[in-house]
Structure 1
């Protein structure tokens, strides 16, 4: 993203173009006069997709502001806006404020799992199972699991015995429930991108990396910052350079009828005017 005056115009034009393409798609869908329920669902889906993409573009525009007072924060603060009648909740997350799951120590991993409420045998089993999934051997830990345990229950995927490639892969680990994954995922990163940044960290990541409790002063203060009851976001991130810094753009789009969609894009801003943004990952 550059600081030239035409940058904002180009971004707004891109957002408008997304909206126009969405409306064209809607016209084709409605012209088919198919089943009313299916058509309505397809219409909502098209609007959700367009709105989520627009949310990503709007966030990129906010991150590209040269004026620091206008630039969007990267500390996970949520923004609410609307596009084509679709409600959007947009957050920008610093990947350096998360736990690097592939290189996390057993102590950090244990504190992370305890932070989402696991304890006792359940905590022991999931901690060892995650470590067994990532390590390079086939020997299970005391409470862990390797190929034999997964084959016994007909699992479609066996431990990789190397770095996890997608966060969703953790759902294949023995003992990982969808609920636990949903609580963990926002505080995890696959990227090894510089030192941990406590100023932009999620409270859970801060607790794990600093081996502190949920009631510690630093974790409580960070939670208040994100909730908007602590320091202003600009004060937290004003001196942080965004160039070359991996960021997650998370857009939750919701239609009035309740249909919803979440778009997650990991980007990296560059200094190259011909390619101002790299898309690292999108889902």
Structure 2
């Protein structure tokens, strides 16, 4: 073999070695990136699980307060309570269902005002309130075919329920309800109060904003003032002069507990429960349990 051929072969071998080293470097880099990504995901999931259990601990703390012999010191008007556990912050709110608008019992005018406060225009709010009235009216079942046709034309299957709502989430099945509007309404609606009007002393800001001569800024300022008011004194009147009623709550309440790690990661639980009478005290039964939901 000539010297020229030997040099050519050595050059080819060198190129092959260089390409092999490059390929190995790429593979090793990919494996390292994959391992780092899996490690980050594992830490994130582990952190989320820890936060969820901390949020559950916050909910249990609120439940214990609600069933205490003294009736508890925590108020069901949505004011915030904070705990610190294992170097994490837990934010807790208790919302009495009497402060919300009952989509089974509320007058259509109450519903219409709530929808307007949530951002719907008057025409949309009026029609949506009428659709809810139709949906929960068992006598309207006689017009099932007409209702099913209107729903089908809007791309919705099944038509109106023609019976009461079992859960607040079922409001999303009503003709005219949008996901964006429902997200705003979710903390302000219920099926458990059985009242035609909400108790304003316990109402969340959106319900307060739906009252005459009220808006969201006024409602939020009032909620902040109410949160600083002791229940040993009557709740302050609304900015429009309307009485807020009494602090007395009902048997069904919702707890929203959120835990954060200070780096943007959070987990929350939403627990709706009913107080029950037990010999020598109070107990509770859970009606709804949600994780990372809206409340």
TM superposition score normalised by structure 1: 0.70
Distance 1:181 1:91 in 2: 20
Task: Return the alpha-carbon distance in structure 1 between the equivalents of residues 84 and 153 of structure 2.
Answer: 49
Query: Quick check: 1:167 aligned with 2:168?
Result: yes
Aligned residues: 240
**The one of 262, 265, 268 aligned to 1:262:** 268
Match in the other structure for 2:213: 213
Distance 2:129 2:248 in 1: 35
- Contact residue 97 and residue 201 of structure 1 kept, 8 A: yes
Any idea what the Cα deviations from partners look like across 1:211-247, whole Å, max 9, x if unmatched? 523159xx94x644531467514336898566x6211
Distance 2:259 2:150 in 1: 39
Against the structure 1 CA distance between its residues 235 and 275, is the aligned structure 2 distance closer, same or farther, given a 3 Å change threshold?
Answer: closer
1:196 Cα shift?
4.3
Q: How does 1:35-114 map to 2 (within 5 A)?
A: 35-66=38-69, 71-114=73-116
Contact 1:77 1:91 in 2 (8 A): yes
Task: Give the direction of change, closer, same or farther, for the CA distance of 1:35–1:234 in structure 2 (3 Å limit).
Answer: same
Give the alignment partner of residue 226 of structure 1, picking from 212, 223, 226.
223
Aligned position for 1:281: 288
Pairwise CA RMSD: 3.4
Q: Which residue of 2 aligns with 1:235?
A: 232
1:54-80 Cα offsets, whole Å, 9 max, x none, are 011111233345557x71111111123
Q: Which has the larger radius of gyration?
A: 2
Whether contact under 8 Å (2:136, 2:164) holds in the other structure is: yes
Q: Secondary structure at the match of 2:180?
A: helix
Secondary structure class of the residue paired with 2:163: coil
Unaligned runs of 5+ in 1: 1-32
**1:78-130: CA deviation from partner (whole Å, max 9, x where unpaired):** 12333334432211111111111112111111111112222143323322332
| Structure 2, unaligned runs of 5 or more | 1-35, 236-245, 291-295
* Alpha-carbon offset, residue 148 of structure 1: 1.9
**Residues of 2 paired with 1:241 and 1:42: CA distance?**
41
